[in-house]
Amino acid sequence: MDSIDNKQRRVWLKQAMSACGLLMTPAAVWAASKAVNPKTVAPWLSRVCDRVIPDTNVPGAVAAGVPAFLHTAVAHGLSGATASLLSRFEQLLTAQIAGDVMTLDDAPLSEALGALDEAAFGHPRGQVMPEIYAAWKTLKSLIVLGYFTSEIGATEALDYVLVPGRFEPDVPLSEHPRAFSSDWTGVKYG
């Protein structure tokens, strides 16, 4: 299966495109998400991101720059977020845990967020959803989005192959246990 690393893929892609007489699209980096100065990211948000997707065998959400992305995401309405989502959720969470997120250790913070997560995702359909549940579901979806579309998430936690070059319809999972971030059908429909 595909064991080529990204650098090799880029070289291969250039060769393949060149062989076809095709132009190479410039790899300009649009860094809007980096427009948010990491120093301005609220510390509480980094802690929440870290509890949702911590470092595992690969770097987690904080290393992937998810907190900064969240500021961009809410400012532009991704996942239906409002611009005030982050500040409002901080207020709601502070009230929920009756204290400051920054004063909690990792374990109790994970416990609090885990309970909130279970309550929010287990909330019965058709019943009015408490504001904190709705805010959490939006925030969590953006954390997941931000992580797996980051370079770390897409290429280290998952595998990104821009030009597979072939379709193999039936492959033992044991040969490729990591999911493809570039499986656009699986990503689109989830």
Partner 1 sequence: MTKQTVYDAIVIGSGITGGWAAKELTEKGLKVLLVERGKNIPHRSGYKNEMRPPWEMPFRGEGDQNYIDEHHPIQQHSGHLTEWNRDYWVDDKAQPYQTPGDSKFNWIRGYHLGGKSLMWGRQCYRWSDYDFSANARDGIGTDWPIRYKDIAPWYDKVESFVGISGAKEALPQLPDGQFQPPMALNAVEQYMREQIAEHFPERRLTIGRTANLTEGKPDEGRAPCQNRSICSRGCSFGAYFSTQSSTLPAAQKTGNLTLLTNSMASRLIHDPDTNRISGVDVLDTQTRQTTTYRSKLVFLCAGAFNSVALLLRSVSEAFPNGLANSSGVLGKYIMDHASTVGVASVIPGFNDRYYYGNRPTGVVIPRFVNLDSQEQPYTRGFSYQGGAYRAGWTRGMKEVGIGESFARDLQGPGDWKFVLTSFAECLPRAENHITLDTENTDADGFPQLQIHFAFGDNEHQLLKAAKEEAAKMVTAAGGKVLFGSDRPNPGGSAIHEMGGARMGRDSKTSVLNGYNQAHDVPNLFVTDGAAMASSACQNPSLTYMALTARAAEYAASQLAKGLI
Q: Could you tell me how many residues of this chain bind partner 1 (CB under 8 A)? A: 84
129 near partner 1, judged by CB under 8 A: no
29 near partner 1, judged by CB under 8 A: yes
Toward partner 1, which CB reaches closer, 42 or 75?
75
131 near partner 1, judged by CB under 8 A: no
Site for partner 1 in 149-168 (CB under 8 A): 149-151, 153-154, 157-158, 160-168
Toward partner 1, which CB reaches closer, 124 or 172?
172
| Rg of the chain taking only CA atoms, in angstroms | 20
> What's the closest the beta carbon of residue 12 comes to partner 1, in angstroms?
11
Give the span between the Cα atoms of 50 and 62, in whole angstroms. Answer: 6
20 near partner 1, judged by CB under 8 A: yes
User: For partner 1, which stretch binds (CB under 8 A), given 26-34, 38-46, 96-104, 126-134?
Assistant: 26-34
SS3 1: coil
Tokens, residue 41? 């990211």
CA angle 129, 140, 109 (to 5 degrees): 95
- Exposed/middle/buried for residue 146 (C-beta within 10 Å: 0-12, 13-18, 19+): buried
Q: b/e map of 124-141 (b: 16 or more CB within 10 Å)?
A: eeeeeeeebbbbbbbbbe
> What's the closest the beta carbon of residue 110 comes to partner 1, in angstroms?
6
User: For partner 1, which stretch binds (CB under 8 A), given 36-44, 66-74, 85-93, 125-133?
Assistant: 66-74
Element (H, E) at 146: helix 131-148
Binding mask 30-59 for partner 1 (x = CB under 8 A): xxxx-----------------xxxx-xxx-
Choose which of 122, 124, 125, 127 interacts with partner 1 (CB under 8 A): 122
> What is the 8-class DSSP label of residue 154?
I
Tokens, residue 48? 């929440």
108 near partner 1, judged by CB under 8 A: no
User: Is 112 in contact with 104 (CB distance < 8 Å)?
Assistant: yes
> What's the closest the beta carbon of residue 11 comes to partner 1, in angstroms?
14
